[in-house]
Structure 1
Amino acid sequence: MLKVGITGGIGVGKTIVTRMFAILSVPVYDADTRAKWVMHHNQALRQELEQAYGPDTFTSEGELNRPYLASVVFNDPQRLEQLNALVHPHVRDDFEAWVMAQKNAPYVLKEAALMYESEAWKQMDEIIAVYAPMEVRLKRLLQRDTHRTEADIRSIIAKQLSEEEKMRRAEHIIYNDDARLLIPQVLKLHKQFLGRKPKV
């Protein structure tokens, strides 16, 4: 089965693009959502997280204490790298198990913001990078995330792999820049993927 990754920085519009593929009956794996699920449900990972970040990592009800964890890692690159190193291997395993369940699909899609940083690209046959210029991303994010300032958003973007590097490394680019129509770009790639064979 062909495995296609889709990535892009915050505000480029990965979600709307993956929804279009989902409408075409393509199974979509959302790495961010599944990572949260794995952090809640994988007992080995829960123990690793508690050992790394202390008993406050989970609430008294057993829920992941996301505000606490975010406060610990967000401004500490080494702690953030440690978190990713703990979580990403379990997400990779979860993805492989999910792929095995998609027996009748001609191809599957994995959406991940950290496709290259997590090395998830190594599981993929091809990668799509979704691109939008900075001014468009800022406008979208200021409308969507009303609790964030422009400085907050720029700080988040600065911590991510540059869009230029993502575009350079991807096999396909979808331009979500409010100037080009999305649907024809998605349909063109969908047609291509239906005829593709996975790498051996």
Structure 2
Amino acid sequence: MKVVGLTGGIGSGKTTILKCFKAFDIPVYIADDEAKALMNRSKVIKRKLIQLFGESAYKHDKLNRPYLASKIFNDKSLLSKMNAIVHPKVASHFKRWLKKQDAPYIIKEAAIIFENNLENQYDYIITVIADKDLRIKRVMQRDNASKEKIQSIINNQLSDDEKVKRSDFVIVNNDLETAKAQAKDIHQQLLRLLNC
């Protein structure tokens, strides 16, 4: 079974595009969601995160995300250490999940495929892009975040131009109907490539 990566910067509309693929009966794995779930569920991850960040890493037995975000935002080494704890667990969870799927291909959504040089884990990669102003507006509405905070996240991510160069397919998600049509076209191309 082929693994198709779906990536894109913050506010590009990856979740919206995933819904399109779900509508085509393609199984979807959202790496960030699974990471968050495992950080709450796994006793091993919990113990290691408390060792790394202290008791405040969890509040009322749930991951204290604002606290962790404040710690890793300006400290790349802490982020790397956290990823080294969480990512291997997510990878093994994904392998187990993949074995249960029955489809010509699956979509694995991960925000930082290129940033972490993980291209070799995918047979094809789709990048979702959108105009920067639109992305900022979407995230301000969704997360109630400041323009400055969103801009700093965008600045920390690889540019859309760089992602597009390294992708097999691109969806421009400025307009929902156009983006849906592009997703459908990519789905059909993938089926043809996979002789389905």
| Alignment TM-score, normalising by the size of structure 2 | 0.91
d(CA) in 2 for partners of 1:160, 1:91: 21
Query: Which residues of 2 match residues 30-41 of structure 1 at below 5 A?
Result: 30-41=30-41
Residue in structure 2 matched with residue 4 of structure 1 by the alignment = 4
d(CA) in 2 for partners of 1:143, 1:15: 15
Task: Report the RMSD for the aligned CA atoms in angstroms.
Answer: 1.9
Q: Secondary structure at the match of 1:12?
A: coil
Letter in 2 for 1:186: A
| Alignment TM-score, normalising by the size of structure 1 | 0.89
Once the two structures are overlaid, the 10-residue window that deviates more, 108-117 or 14-23, is: 108-117
Once the two structures are overlaid, the 10-residue window that deviates more, 71-80 or 11-20, is: 71-80
* Paired residues of 1:142 and 1:149 also in contact (CA < 8 A): yes
The CA deviation string for residues 152-193 of structure 1, in whole angstroms up to 9 with x for no partner, is 110111111221111111111111123971122111111122
The CA deviation string for residues 58-105 of structure 1, in whole angstroms up to 9 with x for no partner, is 23x422121221221112222122212221121111111111110x21
Residue in structure 1 matched with residue 28 of structure 2 by the alignment = 28
Residue in structure 2 matched with residue 19 of structure 1 by the alignment = 19
* Paired residues of 2:50 and 2:57 also in contact (CA < 8 A): yes
Gaps of 5+ in 2: none
Q: Secondary structure at the match of 2:175?
A: coil
Once the two structures are overlaid, the 10-residue window that deviates more, 170-179 or 88-97, is: 170-179
d(CA) in 1 for partners of 2:119, 2:88: 13
Letter in 1 for 2:161: E
1:142 has 2:140 as partner = yes
The runs of at least 4 consecutive aligned structure 1 residues that moved more than 6 Å come to none
d(CA) in 2 for partners of 1:101, 1:179: 31
* Paired residues of 1:2 and 1:106 also in contact (CA < 8 A): yes
Residue in structure 2 matched with residue 82 of structure 1 by the alignment = 81
Going from structure 1 to structure 2, the CA distance change for 1:126 and 1:191 (only over 3 Å counts) comes to: same
* Paired residues of 1:2 and 1:196 also in contact (CA < 8 A): no
Gaps of 5+ in 1: none
* Paired residues of 1:88 and 1:118 also in contact (CA < 8 A): no
Measured after TM superposition, the shift of residue 119 of structure 1 is 4.1
Measured after TM superposition, the shift of residue 139 of structure 1 is 2.6
Residue in structure 2 matched with residue 154 of structure 1 by the alignment = 151
Going from structure 1 to structure 2, the CA distance change for 1:179 and 1:91 (only over 3 Å counts) comes to: closer
Residue in structure 1 matched with residue 68 of structure 2 by the alignment = 69
1:192 has 2:186 as partner = no
Letter in 2 for 1:158: N
Once the two structures are overlaid, the 10-residue window that deviates more, 175-184 or 10-19, is: 175-184
d(CA) in 2 for partners of 1:144, 1:53: 28
d(CA) in 1 for partners of 2:115, 2:42: 22
